[in-house]
Amino acid sequence: MSLKHNLIISIISLSLATFQSIGHSLEFNLSGLTSKDDPNRVTLKSYTVDIDDDHPAAADKWRNNPIDIEGVMSYPKDSESSPFPAVIYLLSSGGYNKKYDDIWIKQLNDAGYATLMVNQYTARGISLKGGLGSSQDGMGDISFVSDVYAAIRSLKKNLKIDQNRIATFGMSWGGGVQIFMTSQWYTNKVGDGEQIQAHIALAPACYMTVENPIPTSAKILMLLGEKDNWNEPGPCIDYANKLNAAGGSAEVIIIPDAAHAFDTAEPKKSKKAMTWHCQVTWDPKTMMAYHKREGKEADYSKNDWGNLWDDCSKKRKVTTGGTSAQRKQAEDAIFLFLKNNL
């Protein structure tokens, strides 16, 4: 079996390098709500999926509610290097955070990547402050998957973009969207077969995955916190193993002693938050879903799936934050992955 079919788990040793990107002022400024005449604003043709239809058996209903989503393009300063490779950047459940999101965008642009930040909230009447358990409660994951495919279609019409060098990037809930997109089933059902080159999932939510995935051709990098008690690393590692066993290419890097949102490089803090402590898998052939921890199963085709989630969505004490060294490790891994795969 070749290396790409094997799970690569790297335990990175902490370096003493000082991370200097967070905390200083930035020339680059991205507003969460751009004006309609902003030349970098793009309209993404997507769909809104109600939470009641956010399951595989309801795929025929997913296109019932079309919606225009806001996106913001940003390019490297060296315009002569176009067409550029591009990274689609999806916000987390925390919404838009200037201090956090703008820095990732600037670093990607400085490294030569065009970016398309997707604002999946405003058009749906959801606050850009985000926050699970608030105004996002009625949102389905498939809505955000649809948004990313809308962004892909937009980039493939952009003459400044190299259509054969597109990646997606998401943290937490945004990272969970990357997990969905590794399965050919979602690509066909939601994305009309659109293929890209790579996914980056930072502390992703892996609470629901395909039991027997047929991988897409895209490679995925999962960056997981060893001590993440919001989005636990175990289900992500299990899914990466399945992807690789099926011929996909998943690389997993575990950051030692890291909590959720370790790449913010902010002091660790604890709080109660809505979490999804689930490990649900489902089989596209039978539409049967299984909750490993609870020993429950349900038939999606009969819309008998709500009982799987009874013990999943609860407020629990979680820890967030990290160190500058952990942020630096995330940066190094991400830009090496992009260099090698884009």
Give 97's contacts (C-beta < 8 A, 6+ positions apart): none
In terms of Cα–Cα distance, which of 142, 118, 138 is closest to 62? 142
Structure-token pair, residue 255: 């950051």
Among 43-57, 83-97, 189-203, 322-336, the least confident range: 43-57
Report yes or no: 223 and 192 within 8 Å, Cβ to Cβ.
Answer: no
Task: Say which residue, 242 or 124, is predicted with more confidence.
Answer: 242
- pLDDT of residue 215 exceeding 70: yes
Give the model's confidence band at 281: pLDDT under 50 very low, under 70 low, under 90 confident, else very high: confident
Flag the least confident range among 86-90, 149-153, 227-231.
Answer: 227-231
pLDDT attached to residue 122: 82
Q: Which two tokens stand for residue 60?
A: 């025929």
Confidence (pLDDT) at 314: 75
Mean pLDDT to the nearest integer, 36-51: 85
Whole-number pLDDT of residue 154: 96
Query: What is the token pair recorded at 150?
Result: 């809308």
pLDDT tens per residue, range 67-85: 999 999 999 998 777 899 9
3-258+327-341: CATH number? 3.40.50.1820
Contact partners, residue 30, CB within 8 Å, separation at least 6: 72, 74, 98, 101, 102, 105, 117
Mean pLDDT lowest among 44-53, 152-161, 304-313, 317-326: 304-313
Q: Name every residue whose Cβ is closer than 8 Å to that of residue 24 and which is 6 or more positions away in sequence.
A: none
Which residue type sits at 172? S
DSSP string, 166-222: EEEEEETHHHHHHHHHTBHHHHHHTTTT---SEEEEES---SEEESS--B-S-EEEE
Is the pLDDT score of 4 beyond 80? no
Burial of 143 (0-12, 13-18, 19+ CB in 10 A): buried
What's the average model confidence in pLDDT over 224-241?
Answer: 93
Which uninterrupted H or E stretch holds 144?
Answer: helix 141-155
AA letter at 193: G
Q: What is the CA 196 to chain-centroid distance, rounded?
A: 14
Rounded Cα gap, residues 10 and 60, in angstroms: 40
User: Could you tell me whether strands 161-171 and 84-90 are parallel, antiparallel, or unpaired per DSSP bridges?
Assistant: parallel
pLDDT confidence bin for 89, thresholds 50/70/90:
very high
Measure the CA–CA gap between 75 and 290, rounded to whole angstroms. 43
Task: Work out the percent of the chain whose per-residue pLDDT is above 90.
Answer: 45
Mean pLDDT across the chain: 82
Calpha distance 266→252 (Å, rounded): 23
> Does 34 score more than 80 pLDDT?
no
Of the pLDDT bands very low, low, confident and very high (cuts 50, 70, 90), residue 124 is confident
- How confident is the model at residue 39, as a pLDDT? 84
List the structure tokens of 177: 């969207």
pLDDT tens digits for 131-149?
A: 444 445 556 788 889 999 9
Give the span between the Cα atoms of 281 and 207, in whole angstroms: 8
H/E segment holding residue 72: strand 66-74
The answer to whether the beta carbons of residues 246 and 1 sit under 8 Å apart is no
Distance CA 258, CA 67 (A): 37
Compute how many other C-beta atoms are within 10 angstroms of the C-beta atom of residue 305.
24
